[in-house]
């Protein structure tokens, strides 16, 4: 795994009996505060494992002897910027089953942490939409795919139909969908909400930084492309969450930023 991906166990407190806690950020003993914008994806993946799943924060400054819980945390260090993102799941220390689930889930997301390029398409970009059809995997957000030609790349007869996944507001994405994928396409469905798009892009950024392009981003602007925010094809894009700091930027803060 090298130096870019690491797995650590951190003593914590505040985990209820029978539950798993997916952390929004955590304090890595070597990397400091690490944000976890992928928490919605991790939590959705964790549901169905027979445990209550909560997204939140835990006290990771607790004394190891009295903490009562452990956090399994994995982080990825962007070689280009030196910034870290990660995923972390807490479970009660005496609950062997929950601890095993926490480790399994964390390791599965750690395995797909890497840099990627993400093409974001409003679904009606006209003839200047080549990136979706050449993507390694495509996510369609909120409803059916948009108009041609994005829709053409997603029809059942397409050679890439096996790597097209519909993602609704529950954000059920399994890490295997991203395994080995370096070019990711995101197509906005006809009923998708901008807040959901921002959350999804931010979450994908949380399993390795994404360089974000808009389909046909060399002309027309976000409004013409049907995108909920401006993107640039050359510069790294960090989506703003709820009008505050980007999730990845929180890594440089000595304390969590809401």
Q: How far is CA 156 from CA 81, 151, 162, 163, in A?
A: 39, 10, 9, 11
Any bridge partners for residue 91, and if so which? 70
Q: What is the mean pLDDT of the chain?
A: 77
Q: How far apart (Å, rounded) are the C-alpha atoms in residues 136 and 211?
A: 15
Predicted structure pTM score: 0.79
pLDDT beyond 60 at 174? yes
CA 142 to CA 97: how far, in whole Å?
A: 34
pLDDT of residue 215: 65
Q: Is 3.40.50.720 the CATH classification of the domain at 116-225? A: no
- Which carries the bigger pLDDT value, residue 209 or residue 36? 36
Supply the angle between the helices 194-205 and 39-46 in degrees, to the nearest 10: 90
Task: Please report, for the chain, the start and end positions of each structural domain, with discontinuous segments joined by +.
Answer: 5-113, 116-225
Q: Give the pLDDT confidence score for residue 240 in this predicted structure.
A: 32
Question: What is the band of 155 on the pLDDT scale with cuts at 50, 70, 90?
Answer: low
Identify the band that residue 194 occupies on the pLDDT scale cut at 50, 70 and 90. confident
* Tokens describing residue 188: 């906005």
Higher-pLDDT residue of 128 and 172 is: 172
Residue 251 has pLDDT above 50, yes or no: no
């Amino acid at each position: 795994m090298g130096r870019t991906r690491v797995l650590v166990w951190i003593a914590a407190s505040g985990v209820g009996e029978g539950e798993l806690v997916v952390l929004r950020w955590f304090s890595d003993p070597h990397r400091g505060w690490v944000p976890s914008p992928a928490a919605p994806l991790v939590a959705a993946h964790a549901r169905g494992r027979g445990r209550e799943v909560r997204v939140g924060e835990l006290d990771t400054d607790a004394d190891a002897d009295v903490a009562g819980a452990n956090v399994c945390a994995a982080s990825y260090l962007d070689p280009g910027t030196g910034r870290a993102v990660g995923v972390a799941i807490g479970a009660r220390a005496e609950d062997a089953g929950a601890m095993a689930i926490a480790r399994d889930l964390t390791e599965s997301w750690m395995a797909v942490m890497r840099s990627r390029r993400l093409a974001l398409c409003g679904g009606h970009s006209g003839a200047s939409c080549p990136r979706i059809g050449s993507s390694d995997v495509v996510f369609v957000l909120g409803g059916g795919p948009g108009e041609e030609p994005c829709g053409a790349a997603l029809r059942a007869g397409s050679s890439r139909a096996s790597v097209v996944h519909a993602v609704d507001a529950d954000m059920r994405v399994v890490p295997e969908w991203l395994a080995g994928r370096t070019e990711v396409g995101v197509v906005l469905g006809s009923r998708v909400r901008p807040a959901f798009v921002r959350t999804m892009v931010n979450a994908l950024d949380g399993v390795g930084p994404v360089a974000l392009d808009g389909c046909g981003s060399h002309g027309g602007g976000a409004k013409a492309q049907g995108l909920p925010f401006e993107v640039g094809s050359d510069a790294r894009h960090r989506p703003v969450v709820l009008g505050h700091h980007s999730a990845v930027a929180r890594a440089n803060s000595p304390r969590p930023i809401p």
